[in-house]
Amino acid sequence: MSRGEKKQGGEGVGSQTSAEPNGATRSPAAKTKPRPRRAGRRAHEVPSSSAGRGAIDRSAATGRRRSGPSDPAPRRPRRADLLAVAVVICMSVLAACSSQLDQGRSKPAGTAGPSGEVTVQFLDVGQGDSVLVRSPEGKTMLIDGGRSTERMGELLEQHGVQKVDLMVASHADADHIAGLVEAARTTQPTLFINNGIAGTTRTWERLVAVLGDAGTQFQKASNQVINLGSVKVRVIAPPAGMGDDQNENSVGIRVEFGEFAALMTGDSETKETQGWLAENRAEVRGPVQVYKSIHHGAANGDNAAWLAAVKPENVVISVGENSYGHPTPQALDLYDSRGIRIYRTDRQGTVTFRAKGDGTYVATTER
């Protein structure tokens, strides 16, 4: 896949291509009529008006049809009119939260690329994950939401997020989806992508219900490529044979903006990273400038073979006070021994990368 591909002035959240390995089901929305956009490529917009309302595919969201309490009865969507296509009110770029300025130049400047900057922020949600990505055009993706609805509410306000175009749940554990409930309520996401395995908690039920109310379209991760404005979002579906375990079915996301790349893979454990490597997935190959430590720096996450493929330049450990020993000395040693620059949200607060299409970037931390 050519990573130098230049896309300017993207038109919102739209799937570009959808490979379908592993027999993944596509939601009805994925069959929306194609609309030619760029030379020779199939493309379609994610429906975000009434056309998409009926397309809510609860089976995709609740996944492998564990019938019962985790599949709430369908609700009639409301607030149809509010979901006009990509109504993004992008508030001022970032809250004034940066204090410490760190380097960031992995390649010589001057390589052509899309204009403007992509922003990738690892929000300080305590023990949990939440990554906010904004395109130069103001399109917004939120990957996970931490474990606290209150905290997520504060962060959305602090960062001026009023609309989320693409919401991703890497998996259904509470430290990843609880905050998404609040984010879904206040930002009415256009599209929601998850691993297709229903959670078994009330929190999951609430999330599905709130997204239903918002008229959000559901898709199961199936290696979609989404245009978030001029930022390319590559969804990395879990490899085949992972069973039903939530961590091992974490959805990966690769963010590309010209020569810049960031990779986040939720709480994927060694088995899943091995699966991706065995499938020789181009999306997990580095070098990448920005990378999220797997599973908050747990011992069963990052491993030598995986990091040798990903080749991260910077790693962000999204972690808070916890009794699991995160981040573990093993994980920290792995990063240290490879010269990977380490950021930690528990010590530095929210960590922000602003990157240009030529691959250069600036990292700032809240404290």
Residues that bind Zn ion (CB under 5 A): 175, 267
* Shortest Å, Cβ 118 to Zn ion: 24
Give CA–CA dist 272/243, Å, rounded: 10
Give CA–CA dist 20/45, Å, rounded: 18
Residue 352 DSSP SS3: strand
* Shortest Å, Cβ 173 to Zn ion: 5
* Nearest in space to 343 (alpha carbons), one of 284, 335, 305: 335
Q: Nearer to Zn ion by C-beta: 267 or 272? A: 267
* Shortest Å, Cβ 170 to Zn ion: 8
Cα separations in angstroms, 101 against 98, 105, 326, 352: 7, 13, 26, 10
Q: Nearer to Zn ion by C-beta: 139 or 296? A: 296
* Shortest Å, Cβ 225 to Zn ion: 25
Phi/psi for 119 (5° steps) reads: -115, 130
Q: Nearer to Zn ion by C-beta: 205 or 267? A: 267
What one-character-per-residue DSSP string does 139-193 give?
-EEEE---S-HHHHHHHHHHTTB---SEEE-SS--HHHHHHHHHHHHHH--SEEE
Q: Nearer to Zn ion by C-beta: 231 or 298? A: 298
* Shortest Å, Cβ 102 to Zn ion: 25
Q: How many CA atoms lie within 13 A of 1 on its CB side?
A: 19
* Shortest Å, Cβ 345 to Zn ion: 13
Q: Nearer to Zn ion by C-beta: 129 or 256? A: 129
Q: Nearer to Zn ion by C-beta: 111 or 330? A: 330
Give CA–CA dist 178/195, Å, rounded: 16
Scan for tokens 């009926």, then name that residue.
54
